[in-house]
């Protein structure tokens, strides 16, 4: 069984964002008080090269991915030069004072890349209001830089997870247009019928649209409840939902490959820094070639 498992996953590795003029002086004063103070910039600060979107700024500071940073801004958790900003595309420059939840945000000049073999019963988020264990608890002593998870693995899914403060890379790896490949080991509550095997390859219709695997194979022909699934979709719980749609329960789900990164020699619950070569490989990923 071990041999067939290794042969199966090696096959995947090879493929692998004016007030009305009639207003009275009283109304003018009242309405003016409601407006935020304009952020005045020197002429040179308007150059295209010095201004970047606020959500990108937060991402570069390791607060969250660019998409998640946009949600934080819309939720009213970010201020620029003392003014509340709720538009993710608002342009800021290095001289602006940006604060997230009252704390000053400073973009990092040192990028960190951490690979974690995530265990079950662990939340993929930077903080949890309910006080549950998060992936940040595991890597707490890894770096002084503020890093965040690239994408998500649900609480009961284990496996390969990348954490970084490199916002540009995180954006690329999670954007649908790059079709980043992921490979999962799946264990079902019962054997997968040949007809359902074919349906998954051809595509099935879920509540949020059609979904299909890129490749699927039995890990062991003598146990058809264990499968290897390759997919590029980043939709929420997509693999679990596909099997549930066909009447199966996913008992075990483990991500073994993400963008060419594997958990080889990395025990469950442990982490390591990426090698320089692995970082270069990630930055040169092209659509469909992960």
Provide φ and ψ at 68, rounded to 5°.
-70, -35
Selecting among 137, 154, 208, 223, the annotated active-site residue is: 154
Sign of the C-alpha dihedral computed for residues 124, 129, 130 and 131 taken in this order: positive
Contact 10, 49 (CB under 8 A): no
Please answer whether residues 98 and 58 qualify as being in contact, where contact means their C-beta atoms are separated by less than 8 angstroms: yes
> Looking at the DSSP assignment, which residues form a beta bridge with residue 188?
250
User: What is the rounded distance in angstroms from the CA atom of residue 290 to the CA atom of residue 281?
Assistant: 9
- Beta-carbon contacts of 245 under 8 Å, excluding residues fewer than 6 positions away, are 204, 206
Chain-centroid distance, C-alpha 89: 19
Active site residue 154: yes
Q: Residue 217 and residue 279: Cα distance in Å, rounded?
A: 29
Asked whether the beta carbons of 229 and 184 are under 8 A apart, the reply is yes
Residue 238 tokens read as 């997509």
- The strand pair at 209-211 and 204-206 is best described as antiparallel
Asked if 14 contacts 85 with a C-beta cutoff of 8 angstroms, the reply is: no
Q: For 187, phi and psi rounded to 5 degrees?
A: -120, 125
Active-site residue set? 154
């Amino acid at each position: 069984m071990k041999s067939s498992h290794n042969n199966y996953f090696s096959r995947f590795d090879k493929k692998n964002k004016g007030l009305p003029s009639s207003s009275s002086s009283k109304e003018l004063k009242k309405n003016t008080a409601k407006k935020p103070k304009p952020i005045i910039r020197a002429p040179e600060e308007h150059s295209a090269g010095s201004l970047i979107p606020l959500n990108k700024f937060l991402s570069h500071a390791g607060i969250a991915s660019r998409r998640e940073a946009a949600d934080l801004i819309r939720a009213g958790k970010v201020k620029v030069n003392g003014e509340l900003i709720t538009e993710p595309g608002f342009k800021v420059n290095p001289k602006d004072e940006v604060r997230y939840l009252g704390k000053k945000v400073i973009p990092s000049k040192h990028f960190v890349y951490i690979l974690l073999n995530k265990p079950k019963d662990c939340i993929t988020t930077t903080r949890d209001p309910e006080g549950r264990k998060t992936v940040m608890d595991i890597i707490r002593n890894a770096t002084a830089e503020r890093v965040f998870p690239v994408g998500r693995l649900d609480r009961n899914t284990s496996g390969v997870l990348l954490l970084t403060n490199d916002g540009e890379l995180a954006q690329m790896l999670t954007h649908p247009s790059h079709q980043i490949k992921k490979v999962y080991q799946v264990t079902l509550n019962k054997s997968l019928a040949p007809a359902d095997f074919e349906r998954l390859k051809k595509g099935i219709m879920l509540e949020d649209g059609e979904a299909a695997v890129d490749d699927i194979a039995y890990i062991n022909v003598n146990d058809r409840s264990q499968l290897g699934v390759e997919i590029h979709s980043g939709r929420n719980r997509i693999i679990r939902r596909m099997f549930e749609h066909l009447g199966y329960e996913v008992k075990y789900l483990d991500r073994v490959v993400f963008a060419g990164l594997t958990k080889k020699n990395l025990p469950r619950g442990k982490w390591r820094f990426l090698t320089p070569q692995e970082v270069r490989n990630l930055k040169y990923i092209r659509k469909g070639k992960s």
